[in-house]
Amino acid sequence: MKIVQGWLSDIERIESPNADPRPSPDDISLLVIHNISLPPEQFGGGYIGQLFSNCLDPTQHPYFREIHQLKVSAHLLIDRVGKLTQFVAFDKRAWHAGISQFEGRSCCNDFSIGIELEGADQIPYTEAQYTALSQVTKLLIDHYALITVERIVGHSDIAPERKTDPGPAFNWHKFRKLLP
């Protein structure tokens, strides 16, 4: 696997319309780890891709009526079996962080890459997810010199008043041990 023109090679790609140019493409300097499950705490079904593609059918689940009009995306999704799907090229701004701040800088979408893990705050992540996440993270650190191990955070770290993900079930120690 390698990065070619902002896209990972040899993985599924579903381009999201919920992206735009970065203000400064050379300022990719933060990696944000998220979780998502649709419906909440349920896995599979392809609903995450539908949400990121603006195709989520509100009649499929009561929760979808609340969220189907959201315009959100992430660069990558890692599902429960470790499969990667890319929605936004890394050199573009995905709409994953919302109102956020890191080290005094707001608008983290401008300078970050967002990776969603299919999961929920209280449900343990899978070995396959940790493996895939560590492999992708190593690749991103090698490719984007401003991303360092110290600049990998959870969504809860940059939006603590609004977000809790990746949650207490995410084992930061285990993940960091897998990195260089």
CATH number at residue 85: 3.40.80.10
Residues 33-48: pLDDT tens digits? 999 999 999 999 999 9
Say whether pLDDT at 22 is over 90: yes
CA 129 to chain CA mean position, Å: 12
The predicted pLDDT at position 148 comes to 97
> What would the mean pLDDT of 9-31 be, rounded to a whole number?
96
The predicted pLDDT at position 171 comes to 98
Residues 52-82: pLDDT tens digits? 999 999 999 999 999 999 999 999 999 999 9
User: Please, are residues 107 and 93 in contact by the beta-carbon 8 Å criterion?
Assistant: no
The predicted pLDDT at position 58 comes to 98
Say whether pLDDT at 180 is over 80: no
Domain range enclosing 148: 3-177
CA distances from 131 to 53, 69, 116, 140, 143 (A): 26, 33, 14, 14, 19
Give me the catalytic one of 41, 66, 116, 161.
116
Residues 81-120: pLDDT tens digits? 999 999 999 999 999 999 999 999 999 999 999 999 999 9
Say whether pLDDT at 127 is over 80: yes
Q: Which residues pair with 123 in a beta bridge?
A: 120
- Number of domains comprising the chain: 1
- Indicate the residue type of 73: S
103 is catalytic: no
d(CA 69, CA 60): 14
pTM of the predicted model, to two decimals?
0.97
> What would the mean pLDDT of 135-139 be, rounded to a whole number?
98
